[in-house]
Amino acid sequence: MARDTVETHFAEAVTALSPGAPRDPGMPVREGTTLTGARCRELFEFQLGSRLLDVTSRWLREQGEGFYTIGSAGHEGNVAVAAAVRVTDPALLHYRSGAFYLARSVMAGRLPEEGLRDVLLGLTASAEEPMAGGRHKVFGHPDLAVIPQTSTIASHLPRAVGVAFAIERARQLGLAGAWPGDAIAVCGFGDASANHASALSGLNTAAYASYQGLAMPVLFVCEDNGLGISVRTPDGWVAAARHRLLEYFEADGCDLADVHDVARAAAEHVRRHRSPALLRIGTVRLMGHAGSDVELSYRTKREINADLARDPLVATARLLVEAGLTTPDELLTRYETTREHLFKMAMESSRRSRLTSAVEIMEPLAPRTPEAVAPASTVAAASREKAFGGRLPELEGPLTLSQAINRTLADTLAAHPDVLVFGEDVARKGGVYGVTRGLQKRFGAGRVFDTLLDEQAVLGLALGSGVSGLLPVPEIQYLAYLHNALDQIRGEAATLSFFSRGAFRNPMVVRVASYAYQKGFGGHFHNDNSVAALRDIPGLVVASPARPDDAASMLRTCLAAARTDGSVCVFLEPIALYNTRDLFDDGDNGWLSPYAPPARWAETHIPIGRARSYGDGRDLTIVTFGNGVRMSLRAAVRLTAEGYSCRVLDLRWLSPLPIDDLLHAAELTGKVLIADETRRTGGVSESIVAELLDAGFTGRIARVTSADSFIPLGDASRHVLLSEGEIEDAARKLLG
């Protein structure tokens, strides 16, 4: 449906309206509704602005000055949702929520032109757009409590649940969160998106929490136009498929009076009962999915005209005219005046500066302030004494990797009341491997708790908590389980700072039990050696400690980076090394490390992107990480006994890679063997080789890796995983 068709229909339909007898603007526009004439007129202005922004976006594209044409035409009834909630209620909007955004902008005390200009600057990809700064066209603004969303389908629903959870949890813990204690989260999405796994995860998580009596103040708003681009949503599907534990409301989004009253009732229910609700707003889609969409290729003229006949802008005009509050001529004049003004504003916006360099584009991606991330040297002694029951970890003697992580989490929970530790089995059980054992007992179920069995839900809770002022430390039980929820990190966590120029952040440290080599507990789902999907996410920090002392220091670094810089960190914990005690011989305790007291945290600090070197060999550098560190050290000792001089470089950080340390270690020996427990194709070793070559390294390079295979059960795994013997053989070959 072309924009001129929609505009012509509006003009003709409004011209044909018959004015009613004049009515007091303070009276309802129609019997049986609470929408007053004055309020109706005010909301119509936002609907009109939204419609004409869509018209302008198509016009800009025709001029070669616009870059985004997915609009809100037909969905302008969502303005009533904005009117039904508070300016301080965090909102995660559907990408057709133009009228909501314009209303929220004015409700927050801004001039009407400011909201319009925000959108126009986004349409023209201007670097001066106040949210994404030309990186994407989003609805978002920190002063409006509108958290920007990209077009990843429904991926924001788990986050919205996390926001609602965080509102209540902050209040219960007596913390000053990002939102008022009586706020509700508002989450808009489309009918097609309602079928997506992430949407179902969000809806189910909200219902699950509510079923257990937990407060979950989230209002889901499904704007149902019956189409997902060209794929039809069956009539009544959203209502039929809704979660039976969610309070359900339904309104005609093309009737402002109806959606106004129903939206108020839905918002009031969520606010009063602190429980989730689903509001379905029946809408139409005008002007197609986007400017390039040819609707006649999948819809009949009759269907298109039926939607046009329900145009919500015409319907609101009818309410105003029939209530005697305006005339057709006044409305048409207002339409043309606003249209002309927006076209002028659009041309002015198109002349604003745009992004001109990779450096400028990437500036908000992953800010780093290393000097601020270094931990403080002192922590309140009394809180530590209480947290550890008088037995401080530095007095326990050498610890395992698992114990070191546990003690670091305890220190963090004791020092920072906004830190939350959660995931599957982390509370009473203390995790499958006992890493979080005892933390819930010491710090309470409000801060250390179990979640439902859904990785998307776990990460969604973290996303919502992080953007709401808390510091979440979620656990993913196994690396293989992370992949089904990876878009929560890729599409939501890693992009938020980028698409908001740092105005919104979702700091978090995601702990993941990782890698292979478990004894007695095999199989693919509990042994996974693939990290490629994490390493290609821009800005993501991927930590991979091998030793207990490194694990403690690196976890403190990740937590500090999350708090200070808003970093999103994934902390890969080698399962097979959790309880390892020995390095070379049984009983040597060579893999244990003492726990550093707070007074030594600054000197033992490990900055992001710094490796650890073992030995001073001049013949060969073995570059490795994770389980490869222990294997390489053992191999290096045997090679030394044969007369070879080796050093081992533990990368420790897989993203960003410690390039400077890598190059320095490589140049010292002129020969580099990469011992990589991930797969040969797409594994870490590929990047290491590329970095060495890009830097002009002229020495010899070889690599040994695990096979391009999933990991089988039992002893068969030894045939596809990197081994000490392979490291030794490759080293001898490289040494010649």
What domains lie within the chain, and their CATH numbers? 5-287+298-349 (3.40.50.970), 370-578 (3.40.50.970), 612-735 (3.40.50.920)
Query: Tens of pLDDT along 371-412?
Result: 888 766 567 788 899 899 889 999 999 999 999 999 999 999
The number of residues in the chain equals 736
Give the pLDDT score at 383.
86
Q: Alpha-carbon Rg of the chain, whole angstroms? A: 29
Pairing of strands 231-232, 227-228: antiparallel
- To which residue do tokens 């293989």 refer? 480
647: helix, strand or coil: strand
Nearest to 19 by CA among 336, 334, 330: 330
Nearest to 4 by CA among 46, 54, 45, 48: 54
Provide the whole-model pTM.
Answer: 0.95
**Residue 5 backbone class (left: φ over 0; alpha: ψ -120 to 50; beta: rest):** alpha
Please give the DSSP secondary-structure letter assigned to residue 28. Answer: B
Q: Which helix (H) or strand (E) holds 381?
A: helix 381-387
Give the pLDDT score at 477.
94
Mean pLDDT of the chain: 95
Active site residue 526: yes
**CA atoms of 673 and 652, how far apart (whole Å):** 16
DSSP string for 558-605 = HHHHHHHH--EEEEEEEGGGTT---SSSTT--TT-BPPPPGGGTTTT-
- To which residue do tokens 């029939």 refer? 322
Q: Which helix (H) or strand (E) holds 409?
A: helix 401-415
Point out which residues pair with 511 in neighbouring strands.
475, 571
Give the pLDDT score at 376.
62
Cα 13–Cα 18–Cα 21 angle in degrees, nearest 5: 145
End-to-end alpha-carbon separation of the chain, Å?
72
The ranges of the chain with pLDDT < 70 are: 1, 151-152, 375-378, 520-522
Give the pLDDT score at 521.
66
Structure tokens at 615: 């030995």
Q: Which helix (H) or strand (E) holds 166?
A: helix 157-172
Establish whether the linkage from the previous residue to 656 is cis, with ω within 30° of 0.
yes
Active site residue: 141, 260, 269, 526, which one? 526
What are the distances in angstroms from CA 71 to CA 56, 119, 303, 342, 621?
Answer: 10, 11, 19, 15, 57
Query: Tens of pLDDT along 137-149?
Result: 999 999 999 999 8
Backbone torsions φ then ψ of 294, nearest 5 degrees = -100, 95
Query: Tens of pLDDT along 428-483?
Result: 999 999 999 999 999 999 999 999 999 999 999 999 999 999 999 999 999 999 99
**CA atoms of 126 and 134, how far apart (whole Å):** 5
Give the pLDDT score at 182.
97
DSSP string for 262-318 = HHHHHHHHHHHH---EEEEEE----S-SSTT--GGGTS-HHHHHHHHHT-HHHHHHH
Please give the DSSP secondary-structure letter assigned to residue 489. Answer: I
Structure tokens at 117: 């200009």
Point out which residues pair with 250 in neighbouring strands.
280
Contact 413, 421 (CB under 8 A): yes
